Chains A and B, each alone.
Chain A
C-alpha cells in the first residue's frame, strides 16, 4: 500500500498533535524537576493542553475529509467523540490536581499517560483502517494499564493493573486475530473497503469472515465492559486510583463504543442480521448482570463499576436498534453518562482519604446531616443514574428506549426499563444511607477543595441542562451521525 503523507493533512489533526506535544512537555519538565514532591505543574499543563486541543477540535465541526490515504477520517462523529474525551480529560485533570497531592503520586508521567491515553482514544474514534484503530486502542490501553497501578504501595492497585493488563492482552489478541481473519477473507484493512468487498463477494456466509466478526465483538466487548467480558471491571475499577477509574468508566468506554460503532456500522453493516442478534443477547446480559450484581455491593466504587456495566448495556440497546434507525442516542447517552459518573466519582474521591479509605457504603451513613451540599450533589448524580426526570440520565434513557420502541424492539425495551427499575434499588440504597441512617463512623473534615467543587457543580449544571434542554446536543449528535456512514 502506498501511503502519501501530505503536509496539508496535518492541520486536521491539530488536536492530536497538541495532546502529544503537551504529553511530551510534561515528561520533559518532570525530568528537570529536582524535588520529588507532588506539584501542580503537570496538572496545569494538562489543563492547558486539553483546553487547546478542545479549541482545535471545535474547529473541526462540519469538516469531513479523508487524511493520509484513507487511514484517517475527520467527520462529525469523530469530532463529537474527540470533544467528549477532551472534556473528560479536562475534568479528570482538575480532580487529579488535588488527588495526586493527597495520594502523593509524585510521578509526572501520571499526566503524560492521561494525555497519551486520550491521544489513543482520538486516534481510535477517527480511524477508518483496522490498523490505525488497533494502534489507537493499544496506545490507550497501555497508558491505562500503567495508570491503574500507579498507587505503588497498594496490593489492590497492583492487582488491578496486572489483572487489567493480562486480560486486556487476551482481549487485544482476540481483536487482532479477528482483524487478521477479516483481512484474510476480504483482503482489506480499510473498513469501507471491507464493506465493499464483503458485500460484493457475499462473505456473509464465509466462516472465516464470520469468525473474524465474532472475535472483534469479543475484543470490543472487553473494552466496553460488556457481559460476559466484564469480569475485570469491578476489580480494576476498585483498585485503580479513583480519577483513573473515572477516566476508564467514561473516556475509555466512550472511545471503545465509538470505535465499535464505527467498525460495525461501516464494515459489517451489510451483515447486520448476523451480528445484531448476538449484540442483542449481550445487551440483555450486560444490563441484567450489571444491575443484579450491583444490588449486593457494599463498596461504592464496586457499586459504580457494576452500574457502569449496566449502563454499557443500555448503550448496547441503542447499538442494536441501529439496524433500523441509525440513532444518535448513543452519543447523547454517553455524554450524559459521562457527567453522572464524573460527578459521582468525584464525590467518592472527596469523601475518600489517603489510601483510598472510606469507600464502603457505611461511610455514607448520615452524610446528609453533616455535609448537606455534598449529599445534595450526590443525590442528583444518583437520581440521574437512576433515570429520574428532568435530569440527563432520564433524557438519555428516554432517547434510547424510545428508539428501541421505534425500531420495534419491544422486548429489549421492556427488559431495559425493568432493569432500570432494578437499578433504582441500589442507587436508592446509597441515598437511603445518606439520608435515613445515622452516621456509623467519623469521617472527619471533608476536603472541599475548589478542584472537586468545580467538577461537581459543572456536572450538576450539565445534568440539568442536558436533561431539560436536550435539543441542542441532540441536534448536534444527530448531525454527527448523519455524516457517519
Chain B
C-alpha cells in the first residue's frame, strides 16, 4: 500500500545520491558552496521524510509507502521497498541526524571537503535503503554499501589510529555479512524447494516453514551478522576503535544509525524469519546483552578518553535494546525501539559535544579538562542535559526507554530485570563521574581558562538535540502510537509462528534428516527448550 501516489521511499533513497553525483562536478575550491549545497540537500531530504510521519497509517501493521518492481524475476529478486512503524522512526532519525552531522562538520573538516560531503551523502543513501528494503538481496546490497563510506570516513578523516580502526570495522562487518548472505541463500532455496516459488521477498519468506534444525543454523548466521553491528558482547571490540578514531560526524552516524541497523536487522529479519530459533535463543541473547550492559558500564568507568568512554557506554545502551527486544512482550519491545531512537539522539548528542570541545582543545582526555563549566557555561548546560538523558533521568527520553525495557525484562524473567537494573546504577556512576571530572572542580590547565563558549551554529545543533530529548521524554505517546500496531502485529506473528513450530515439532518431519540433522537430534531440542512458555501480551 502506498498512500502517497508518489514513490516517496525511492526519492528519499536516491536524493542524497543525486546530490553526491552533482557534487562530483563541483570544483573543489568552492568549499562554502559544497557545504551549503550538502546542507540544502540534507534539509530537503529531512523535509521530504516528514510526510512519512504525518501520512503514516497508525492502525495497520502492514508495510506502507510500498514500491515494488521486478528486477530479476527468474531468480525472484525484486525492487521492493516499504516501511512499517518500526522502520519509520529510524528513517526519520537518519534524515534528522544527517542534517546535524553536516552542520557539525562545517568547521571540523578541513581536508578534502568535497570528498567528505560526497561520502556523507552516499552514506545516507545506503542507510535509508537498508531501512526500507524488503527484498533480502536489495537489503544486503544496501547493507554492504554502508560499509564503504563509513570505512572512508574513518580512514580518511579519522584520528591517529584511523587505518587500524577502519580496517577492523570493515573486516568485522564483512565476516558477519557474508555468512548472512549464505543463510539468505539457504533460506531462499529451502523456500523454493518446499513451495516451488523463487523469491527473496521477505514478507513471503516470513511464511516459510523452516525445519527447526536448519532454523538454528540460519538464525545463528543472521544473528552473528547483526550482533557484530549492534555490537553485542563479545563481538563489540571494533566499536571503541571505530568510534574513537572516526571524525565527530562519523561517530554520530555510527552511534545514531549504523548500530541501529543491527538491532533493526533482528526485528525485521532474524526474529520473524526464524521465530522458533529466536525464542529458543532468549537465554543466550539476554545473558550476552546483560554482560554487555554491565561490562560496557564498568569499562566506561575506567576510560581516560571521552570518546572511548561514550563508545563503551554505547555497548551498554545497546545491551538494553537487545534485552528489551528479547523479552518478547509489548513493553520490552516498544522500550527497545524507543531506546534505539534515544540512543541515537543522546549518544549522538554526546559525540557532538565531545567534538565541539575537541575542536577547541584538540584533546579528548578527561584528565586534560576540569572546571570547564566556569569558562563554558552554555556548553555545560547542554552537556548536563544530554548526560542526564543518557543516564535516563525521568523527564528525558532515556527514562521512557529504559523503564519500559526493564519492565519488559522483569515480566519476562525476573533475574534479567534485576541484573539490568544494576546497569542503570553503573550508568549513572560513569556518566556523572565523567561529568564531574570534566566540568567541575578547579581549573588545573591554563588552556581551559580561555576556551570560547559555544557559537550560534553549535547552539542551534544542540537545541535540536535537546528539543527531542525533552519532547520524547514528556510526550512519548506521539511516537509510540506510530509503532503500536506494528509491534503488536510483530509479537502476534512471532508467537503464532512459534506455536506452529512447536506443534510441528511433536511430529518430526522428514525434512529434518535432509539437513544432516538426524530425527533424534531434531526431536531432542524441544524437550528442554519449549518447556518455558513465552509470555506475550
Q: What would 16 more interface pairs be, CB under 8 Å, given A418-B178, A421-B175?
A: A368-B115, A389-B140, A389-B141, A398-B137, A405-B186, A405-B189, A410-B182, A414-B182, A418-B175, A418-B179, A420-B178, A432-B155, A432-B167, A435-B152, A470-B72, A474-B74
Identify the closest chain A residue to B186 (Cβ). A405
Q: Which B residues touch A388, using CB under 8 A?
A: 144-145, 147-148
B121 to chain A, nearest CB (A): 16
B282 within 8 A of A: no
B5 to chain A, nearest CB (A): 27
Choice from B72, B140, B147, B185 contacting A405 with Cβ under 8 Å: B185
Cβ B185 vs Cβ A402 within 8 A: yes
25 inter-chain pairs at a CB distance below 8 angstroms, sorted by A residue, are: A388-B145, A389-B141, A389-B145, A390-B141, A401-B181, A402-B185, A402-B188, A402-B189, A405-B185, A413-B185, A414-B179, A417-B178, A417-B181, A418-B179, A421-B171, A421-B174, A424-B170, A425-B167, A425-B171, A428-B151, A432-B166, A432-B167, A435-B155, A436-B156, A471-B74
Considering the chains assembled together, what is the distance between the CA atoms of A138 and B115 in angstroms? 50
Considering the chains assembled together, what is the distance between the CA atoms of A475 and B174 in angstroms? 29
Q: Which A residues touch B74, using CB under 8 A?
A: 471, 474-475
Identify the closest chain B residue to A471 (Cβ). B72
A383 within 8 A of B: yes
Q: Which B residues touch A406, using CB under 8 A?
A: 185, 189
What does the 1/0 interface line of A391-414 toward B look like (CB < 8 Å)?
A: 000100010011001100010011
B308 within 8 A of A: no
Q: How many residues of A contact B (CB 8 A)?
A: 30
Considering the chains assembled together, what is the distance between the CA atoms of A363 and B71 in angstroms? 41
> In residues 143-166 of chain B, which contact A (Cβ within 8 Å)?
144-145, 147-148, 151-152, 155-156, 162-163, 166
Q: Which A residues touch B163, using CB under 8 A?
A: 432, 436
Considering the chains assembled together, what is the distance between the CA atoms of A471 and B71 in angstroms? 8
Considering the chains assembled together, what is the distance between the CA atoms of A302 and B182 in angstroms? 30
Cβ B171 vs Cβ A424 within 8 A: yes
B247 to chain A, nearest CB (A): 13
Q: Which B residues touch A474, using CB under 8 A?
A: 72, 74
Considering the chains assembled together, what is the distance between the CA atoms of A420 and B155 in angstroms? 21
Considering the chains assembled together, what is the distance between the CA atoms of A420 and B74 in angstroms? 26
Identify the closest chain B residue to A386 (Cβ). B174
Choice from A389, A435, A470, A475 contacting B156 with Cβ under 8 Å: A435
Identify the closest chain B residue to A402 (Cβ). B185
Choice from B72, B112, B140, B179 contacting A417 with Cβ under 8 Å: B179
Q: Which B residues touch A401, using CB under 8 A?
A: 181-182, 185
Q: Is the interface of A mostly helix, strand, loop or mixed?
A: helix
Q: Which B residues touch A429, using CB under 8 A?
A: 167
Identify the 10 closest CB pairs spanning chains A and B, nearest first.
Answer: A417-B178, A405-B185, A389-B141, A402-B185, A421-B175, A421-B174, A436-B155, A406-B189, A424-B174, A471-B72
Considering the chains assembled together, what is the distance between the CA atoms of A425 and B152 in angstroms? 14
B513 to chain A, nearest CB (A): 13
Considering the chains assembled together, what is the distance between the CA atoms of A435 and B116 in angstroms? 12
Considering the chains assembled together, what is the distance between the CA atoms of A74 and B488 in angstroms? 61
> Which of B112, B162, B170, B178 has most A Cβ within 10 Å?
B178
Cβ A428 vs Cβ B186 within 8 A: no
Q: Which B residues touch A405, using CB under 8 A?
A: 182, 185-186, 189
A51 to chain B, nearest CB (A): 31
Q: Is the interface of B mostly helix, strand, loop or mixed?
A: helix
Considering the chains assembled together, what is the distance between the CA atoms of A406 and B155 in angstroms? 38
Q: Which B residues touch A470, using CB under 8 A?
A: 72
Considering the chains assembled together, what is the distance between the CA atoms of A303 and B162 in angstroms? 24
Q: Which A residues touch B166, using CB under 8 A?
A: 432, 436
Known: A435-B155, A435-B156. A417 touches B182 (CB 8 A): yes
Q: Which B residues touch A420, using CB under 8 A?
A: 178
Considering the chains assembled together, what is the distance between the CA atoms of A424 and B182 in angstroms? 17
Considering the chains assembled together, what is the distance between the CA atoms of A475 and B188 in angstroms? 20
Considering the chains assembled together, what is the distance between the CA atoms of A410 and B217 in angstroms? 11
What does the 1/0 interface line of B105-116 toward A look like (CB < 8 Å)?
A: 000000010010
Considering the chains assembled together, what is the distance between the CA atoms of A243 and B2 in angstroms? 53
Considering the chains assembled together, what is the distance between the CA atoms of A398 and B182 in angstroms? 9
Considering the chains assembled together, what is the distance between the CA atoms of A128 and B155 in angstroms? 53
> In residues 347-368 of chain A, which contact B (Cβ within 8 Å)?
368
Q: Which A residues touch B167, using CB under 8 A?
A: 425, 428-429, 432
What does the 1/0 interface line of B328-368 toward A look like (CB < 8 Å)?
A: 00000000000000000000000000000000000000000
Considering the chains assembled together, what is the distance between the CA atoms of A470 and B137 in angstroms? 13
Q: Which B residues touch A398, using CB under 8 A?
A: 137, 181
Identify the closest chain A residue to B180 (Cβ). A417
Considering the chains assembled together, what is the distance between the CA atoms of A64 and B397 in angstroms? 71
Q: Which A residues touch B171, using CB under 8 A?
A: 421, 424-425
What does the 1/0 interface line of A362-377 toward B look like (CB < 8 Å)?
A: 0000001100000000
B133 to chain A, nearest CB (A): 12
Q: Which A residues touch B178, using CB under 8 A?
A: 417-418, 420-421
Considering the chains assembled together, what is the distance between the CA atoms of A383 and B151 in angstroms? 12
Considering the chains assembled together, what is the distance between the CA atoms of A420 and B176 in angstroms? 12
Considering the chains assembled together, what is the distance between the CA atoms of A470 and B141 in angstroms? 14
Considering the chains assembled together, what is the distance between the CA atoms of A474 and B71 in angstroms? 13
B13 to chain A, nearest CB (A): 13
Considering the chains assembled together, what is the distance between the CA atoms of A41 and B433 in angstroms? 78
Considering the chains assembled together, what is the distance between the CA atoms of A383 and B148 in angstroms? 9
B131 to chain A, nearest CB (A): 17
Q: Which B residues touch A417, using CB under 8 A?
A: 178-179, 181-182
A413 to chain B, nearest CB (A): 5
Considering the chains assembled together, what is the distance between the CA atoms of A425 and B172 in angstroms? 11
Considering the chains assembled together, what is the distance between the CA atoms of A424 and B168 in angstroms? 11
> In residues 419-444 of chain A, which contact B (Cβ within 8 Å)?
420-421, 424-425, 428-429, 432, 435-436
Cβ A389 vs Cβ B144 within 8 A: yes
Q: Which A residues touch B144, using CB under 8 A?
A: 388-389, 394
> Which of A369, A420, A425, A428 has most B Cβ within 10 Å?
A428
Identify the closest chain A residue to B217 (Cβ). A410
A272 to chain B, nearest CB (A): 21
> In residues 38-57 of chain B, which contact A (Cβ within 8 Å)?
none
Q: Which B residues touch A369, using CB under 8 A?
A: 112
> In residues 48-96 of chain B, which contact A (Cβ within 8 Å)?
72, 74
B30 to chain A, nearest CB (A): 16
A291 to chain B, nearest CB (A): 13
> In residues 170-214 of chain B, which contact A (Cβ within 8 Å)?
170-171, 174-175, 178-179, 181-182, 185-186, 188-189
Identify the closest chain B residue to A424 (Cβ). B174
Q: Which A residues touch B181, using CB under 8 A?
A: 398, 401, 417
Considering the chains assembled together, what is the distance between the CA atoms of A402 and B167 in angstroms? 27
Identify the closest chain A residue to B158 (Cβ). A436
Considering the chains assembled together, what is the distance between the CA atoms of A33 and B140 in angstroms? 58
